[in-house]
Amino acid sequence: MNLIKDKTFGGERPLFAIKDSRLENVTITEGESGIKCCRNLEADGCHFYGKYPWWHVDKSLITNCYFAVGSRSAIWYSNDMTMRDCLIDGPKFFREMDGLTLERVRITDADETFWKVKNLKVKDCVLREGTYPFMFCENVFVENLDVESKYVFQYVKNAEIHNARIITKDAFWETENVTVYDSILDGEFLGWHSKNLKLVRCRISGEQPLCYVNGLTLEDCSFDAASDRMFEDSILEADINGDVTEIKNPRSGHIRIRGKLAQLTIDENILAPADCKIETD
């Protein structure tokens, strides 16, 4: 493998179409498309400052690197990538990709990050700020994720999430086949219009959660007092640990509450078959 070490590059496409190369302590200064149309690359201890520095790169390993604010839209159309121990300050990373693994990566501006990524694995990562991270992703596995961003995991298909802390708004809308284990989910309007959404041992906060869901499963989950008007027009099987503030117009299924239900709202807007069974202890 060709070694490129202790170098600085700038301008337009300075490392265009390189392959079978390892970059150590390389700096890509202000400019555009520093690394583009490449294959089989490693980058360690590198710094990226210019726009679009890593496009159309197949089979790559990025470790201990820094992506500055100016490196917006840095990594697109790149398949079979692993990134570890990196700091990202730029927005709009990781789009239109297949085969991406992140470990111990911190993203300080997660705006429009992870769009249309297939076969995505995320472990021990932190996301802050921004809107719509993980939009349109498929085949996702997440472990130990800490997120404080808006509109997380919209339109996601086939995802498994473990030990996440998600502070957000309108998360998991229009998802399909998503399971979340042992996580904190804090935000309004959780999971609306989703299909086959399963939550296991999750702590849920926020107004009007889990409405318009087709195939909702809850196992040993709990809700805070702010979680009102839940389950409207949803078809569900739910086992809830603790008190519930309000359930409104569930369409069908079975709800068991190991606690008290403060309010049940059934009005003229409930949709057929309107046969959900509710039990309390």
Q: What pLDDT sits at residue 129? A: 97
Q: What is the mean pLDDT of residues 105-115?
A: 98
pLDDT at 1 over 90: no
pLDDT at 217 over 90: yes
Q: What is the mean pLDDT of residues 97-116?
A: 98
The owner of tokens 């390892």 is 22
Q: Which residues are within 8 A (CB) of 256 and not within 5 positions of it... i.e. 6 or more apart?
A: 238, 239, 240, 279, 280, 281
Q: What pLDDT sits at residue 281? A: 86
Whole-number percent of the chain with pLDDT over 70: 100
Confidence of residue 31 (pLDDT cuts 50, 70, 90): confident
pLDDT at 30 over 90: no
The owner of tokens 């709800």 is 255
Q: What is the mean pLDDT of residues 126-133?
A: 98
Confidence of residue 230 (pLDDT cuts 50, 70, 90): very high
Closest CA to 35 of 90, 93, 74: 74
Closest CA to 269 of 235, 230, 233: 233
Q: Which domains does the chain have, with CATH numbers?
A: 1-83 (2.160.20.80), 84-280 (2.160.20)
Average pLDDT, the chain: 97
CB contact at 8 A, 185 and 210 = no
The β-bridge relationship of strands 75-76 and 214-223 is unpaired
Q: What pLDDT sits at residue 64? A: 98
Tally the C-alpha atoms within 13 A of residue 116's C-alpha that lie toward its C-beta: 7
